[in-house]
Amino acid sequence: MVHRISLVGETFVFQDLKHILASASLLRSGDELAGIAARDPVERVAAREVLANLPLRHFLTEAIVPYETDEVTRLIMDSHDEAAFTPISHMTVGQFRDWLLSYAADTSSLEKLSPGLTPEMVAAVSKLMRNQDLVSVGRKMRVVSAFRNTQGLPARLGSRLQPNHPTDDPDGISAALLDGLLLGAGDAVLGINPASDHIGRGMDILWRFDDIRQRFDMPVQSCLLTHVTNTITMIEKGAPVDLVFQSIAGSEQANSGFGISLGILSEAWQAARELNRGTVGTNVMYFETGQGSALSSGTHHGVDQQTMEVRAYAVARVYSPLLVNTVVGFIGPEYLYDGKQIIRAGLEDHFCGKLLGLPMGCDVCYTNHAETDQDDMDTLMMLLTAAGVNFLIAVPGGDDVMLSYQSLSYHDILTLRSVFGVRPAPEFEAWLERMALVDGTRLRMNQPYALPNFRAGS
């Protein structure tokens, strides 16, 4: 269906829904690389006007990736909840934007709405929202998940402790693990990106994490961020797997590029739940996403990168994950060029994920070839905390020595706690008190001996 609009004496023509969505997106380098960005700022605003006048119901009739050949589209269309959609079914995208910002849209009504929304509707409305809109509506939404502690409660901010090591040296990993714990981080997950895919070495890391967790009676979960099929193998071999990790994307082909399908994810989900290792909850999945991943594998179907990202959330929500993390600045400047684009993408991803019912966190991060720095990351971490993000990633000193990029430091999490009055998950907060690592709300100047007989360096 062709859409025409006149703006400032000029006529703009948009061929179909994906053309409107791509043209309405804020400028970002990935859409330019794909050749689908608006040609100029006026065309962008024209596309937004068209989008604002489009009925939400239209999204149920026009698939932007073919239904017949894409299992993600089939998932989106077949699982759409018409009853949940009813309260907004008469609205246009523009009216939906205004409703989201209204007092009528509160925590409970937004939660009920979630199954009635498709990712394309959510991506569309986010394109009509300014950064402050993404923050203020984001803040109204709450997604609680739990395993050995509870993530996503009001006025709480979780953190992932990421103790990566370039050669997976167990003592090097333990040293970085100790550093993070003494800085009060790690309630969302103790999560390691292994340098190698070796099953045996991966299992050694999991055993070590589990040993340390039990020795100090820590209410936390660990995760080895390896391919889902490796994790299934480790579960079969009896490894102590708390969470199953996988990178996911918004099309069947893109997921195939990751070596996964909905079927494989279901198998892993089932296997991890059967282990029954959670104490306060049963959310066992940890997904990572990021704008540009489909384009980078040439599997974006001409759809803009932000919309493709939100389609990945439709995959995630099937599995009631504990954590979903958008690794926003990791992909590089070909997709998100500078601080402005990274900040915008981080806010979009959080908003869109939450609106679809996901426990969204973010890796506030950048690579050295992007036009950005720590000051931009400071801005994004504060905006996301204001928006009520579930958790943030942190690494020693903000410098990941395995993946060669910069994320937040554990210290940044402390700063956010002080500035915004947010606290870690309640179970983890109690543990920090029990171990005398905190004095009131302040973290002590902890030294390695504060956790005696920690295995690091033994």
Partner 1 sequence: MSQLAQDPWGPLRRYTHARIGLPRTGDSIAGSEVRALQAAHACARRAVHACLDPAKLAVGDSFIEVRSQAKDRSEFVRRPDLGRRLDGPSIALLKQIAPAGPWDVVLVAADGLSAVAVERQAPPLQNAVRAALAHTWRIAPLVVAHNARVALGDEIGALLGVRCVVMMIGERPGLSVSDSLSLYMTWNPHVGRQDSERNCISNIHARGLSTGEGCHKLCWLLKSARKLGYTGVALKDESTNMTLLPETKTP
C-beta of 404: minimal distance to partner 1 in Å?
Answer: 4
125 binds partner 1 (CB under 8 A): no
- State which of positions 409-438 bind partner 1 (CB under 8 A): 409, 411, 414-415, 417-418
Are the C-beta atoms of 325 and 355 separated by less than 8 Å? Answer: no
- State which of positions 147-166 bind partner 1 (CB under 8 A): 163-165
Binding mask 438-457 for partner 1 (x = CB under 8 A): -----x-x-xxx------xx
Residue 324 backbone dihedrals phi, psi, to 5 degrees: -130, 125
Residue span binding partner 1 (CB under 8 A) among the ranges 37-45, 90-98, 275-283, 365-373: 365-373
Bridge partners, residue 409, by sequence: 395
292 binds partner 1 (CB under 8 A): no
C-beta of 441: minimal distance to partner 1 in Å?
Answer: 11
176 binds partner 1 (CB under 8 A): yes
Q: Which of 116, 119, 158, 172 is in the footprint of partner 1 by CB under 8 A?
A: 172
Q: What is the size of the binding site for partner 1 (CB under 8 A)?
A: 44
C-beta of 298: minimal distance to partner 1 in Å?
Answer: 11
257 binds partner 1 (CB under 8 A): no
95 binds partner 1 (CB under 8 A): no
Q: Which of 361, 398, 422, 424 is in the footprint of partner 1 by CB under 8 A?
A: 398
Residue span binding partner 1 (CB under 8 A) among the ranges 48-56, 143-151, 203-211, 391-399: 391-399
Q: Which pair of tokens denotes residue 217? A: 């009676």
406 binds partner 1 (CB under 8 A): yes
From the CA atom positions of the chain, what is the Rg in Å?
Answer: 22
C-beta of 209: minimal distance to partner 1 in Å?
Answer: 16
Residues that bind partner 1 (CB under 8 A): 29, 32-33, 163-165, 169, 171-176, 178-179, 333-334, 337, 367-369, 373-374, 395-399, 401, 404, 406, 409, 411, 414-415, 417-418, 443, 445, 447-449, 456-457
